[in-house]
C-alpha cells in the first residue's frame, strides 16, 4: 500500500526564499490528505503537480498563521474550480468562525459543503477512520491549543498461499475466512492450520506529525515506535532559551524525541527563517539520531522505506 508524504512548506513563522510555511500532503493508497495549510500552499500544490481536487480531508494543527493562512484561499479556489463533493476539516473549533467570517465578508457561498471535526488539545482522540487508516490527535505543548496527528495504517488481512490452497482443493468460498486467520476444516475431518495456508501481512506503518511544541515527554508514549516521525526543529540547540520562551523545539531535542520514542526515521522541519542553510540543523540532529532527514520542499518520503 502506498504511504508517502510530500513536503509543501517547512518554514516557521515567516517564509523565506525557497521555504514556505508549514504544509504537507500524505498519499495513502492514492487518497490525498493535507496536513496544515500555510500561506502559499495552493501555489506549492501547483508547483509539484498535486491536484487539490483530490484532497478530501484537511488537518490543521493550530491557529498560528503559518499553519492555516493558506486555507481560505485554497477553499475559494476549489469553489471557483467547480468542486461539489464535501470537504472535511479537522482542527480547533475557532477555525470555523475564521473561515465563516472571511467567506461572509467576501460574499462567497461555497458550492460544496464543509464538514468540521473539532480537535481537543487536552486529550488524544480518533478523529478520522476509513478502510486504510486511523488518525488520532496528539496533544502538544505550544502555549495555544495545538495538536499533532498520528496516522496509522490498519492491519491488512493475511496473504493467501494460493498454490497451497489449490493443491488441497480448498473451495474458493473459504478464502475470505482464511484471510481473516481462520483454520480450514476439510470434509474428511482434517484440520489445516492457517499458518500453512496463508502468510501474515506486513506490520502496519505509522506517521507521527508533531507540528509546534516544546520538548515535553507527555506525548512520547503515544508516538512510540513510529515508522516515521516528523518533528519541528525550529532552532539550533545554542538557542535553547529562545526555543523554550517560544515553546518550540531545537534540532537536538527533536533527535532526542526520536531516540526516546524508538522512531525508525526522523524528519525535521519548521525551520526558523534565521537559518539560510539547514546543514547545521541536520548535523545537530544526526549527532544523536543518524536516521534524520530534512523536510525539503518538493521531496517525497516513503513511510517505511
Per-residue pLDDT of 31-63, as tens digits, reads 999 999 999 999 999 999 999 999 999 999 999
Output the CA torsion sign for 20, 81, 127, 29.
negative
pLDDT digits (tens, 9 = 90+) for 253-283: 999 999 999 999 999 999 999 999 999 999 9
Catalytic residues: 66
Read off the pTM: 0.90
β-pairing verdict for 133-139 and 147-153: antiparallel
What are the extents of the domains in the chain?
3-156+202-302, 159-199
Instruction: Please give the sequence-ordered ranges of beta strands (E in DSSP) within the chain, or none if there are none.
Output: 3-9, 23-28, 31-37, 55-59, 87-91, 114-118, 126-129, 133-139, 147-153, 159-160, 184-185, 191-192, 198-199, 206-210, 228-232, 266-269, 292-294, 300-302
Cα dist from 45 to 48, 58, 79, 81, 115, whole Å: 5, 14, 16, 15, 22
What pLDDT is recorded for position 51?
97
Under DSSP, the state recorded for 62 is B
pLDDT digits (tens, 9 = 90+) for 99-154: 999 999 999 999 999 999 999 999 999 999 999 999 999 999 998 999 999 999 99
Q: Measuring CA to CA, which residue among 140, 148, 142, 133 is closest to residue 60?
A: 148
Please report which confidence band the pLDDT of residue 15 belongs to, taking 50, 70 and 90 as the band edges: confident
| Coil vs helix vs strand at 95 | helix
Question: In which element (H, E) is residue 220 found?
Answer: helix 220-223
Q: Phi and psi (nearest 5°) for 210?
A: -110, 100
CB 241 within 8 A of CB 60: no
Output the CA torsion sign for 165, 171, 172, 176.
negative
Average pLDDT over all residues of the chain:
95
Q: Phi and psi (nearest 5°) for 282?
A: -65, -45
More confident residue, 28 or 158: 28
| Coil vs helix vs strand at 97 | helix
Q: How far is CA 121 from the centre of its chain?
A: 17
| Coil vs helix vs strand at 156 | coil
Separation between Cα atoms, residue 82 and residue 85, nearest integer Å: 9
CB 232 within 8 A of CB 213: yes
- Environment class of residue 174 by beta-carbon count within 10 Å: exposed (0-12), middle (13-18) or buried (19+)? middle
Fold of 3-156+202-302: Metallo-beta-lactamase; Chain A (3.60.15)
Amino acid at each position: 500500500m502506498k504511504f508517502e508524504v510530500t513536503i509543501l512548506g517547512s518554514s516557521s513563522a515567516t517564509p523565506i526564499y525557497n521555504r514556505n510555511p508549514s504544509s504537507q500532503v500524505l498519499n495513502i493508497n492514492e487518497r490525498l490528505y493535507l496536513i496544515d495549510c500555510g500561506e502559499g500552499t495552493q501555489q506549492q500544490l501547483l508547483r509539484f503537480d498535486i491536484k487539490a481536487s483530490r484532497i478530501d480531508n484537511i488537518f490543521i494543527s493550530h491557529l498560528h498563521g503559518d499553519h492555516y493562512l493558506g486555507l481560505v484561499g485554497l477553499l475559494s479556489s476549489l469553489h471557483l474550480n467547480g468542486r461539489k463533493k464535501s470537504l472535511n476539516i479537522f482542527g480547533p473549533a475557532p477555525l470555523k468562525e475564521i473561515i465563516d467570517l472571511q467567506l461572509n465578508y467576501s460574499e462567497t457561498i461555497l458550492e460544496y459543503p464543509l464538514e468540521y471535526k473539532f480537535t481537543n488539545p487536552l486529550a488524544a482522540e480518533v478523529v478520522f477512520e476509513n478502510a486504510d487508516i486511523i488518525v488520532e490527535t496528539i496533544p502538544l505543548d505550544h502555549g495555544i491549543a495545538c495538536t499533532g496527528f498520528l496516522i496509522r495504517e490498519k492491519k491488512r488481512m493475511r496473504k493467501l498461499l494460493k498454490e497451497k490452497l489449490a493443491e488441497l482443493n480448498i473451495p474458493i468460498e473459504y478464502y475470505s475466512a482464511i484471510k481473516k486467520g481462520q483454520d480450514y476444516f476439510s470434509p474428511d475431518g482434517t484440520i489445516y492450520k492457517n499458518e500453512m495456508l496463508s502468510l501474515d501481512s506486513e506490520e502496519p506503518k505509522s506517521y507521527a506529525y508533531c507540528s509546534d511544541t516544546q520538548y515535553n515527554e507527555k506525548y512520547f508514549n503515544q508516538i512510540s515506535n513510529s515508522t516515521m516521525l516528523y518533528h519541528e526543529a525550529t532552532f539550533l540547540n545554542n538557542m535553547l532559551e529562545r526555543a523554550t520562551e517560544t515553546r518550540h523545539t531545537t534540532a537536538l531535542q527533536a533527535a532526542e524525541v526520536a531516540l526516546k520514542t524508538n522512531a525508525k526515521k526522523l524528519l525535521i522541519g519548521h525551520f526558523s527563517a534565521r537559518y539560510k542553510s539547514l546543514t547545521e540543523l541536520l548535523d545537530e540532529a544526526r549527532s544523536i539520531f543518524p536516521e534524520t532527514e530534512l523536510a525539503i520542499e518538493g521531496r517525497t518520503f516513503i513511510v517505511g522505506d
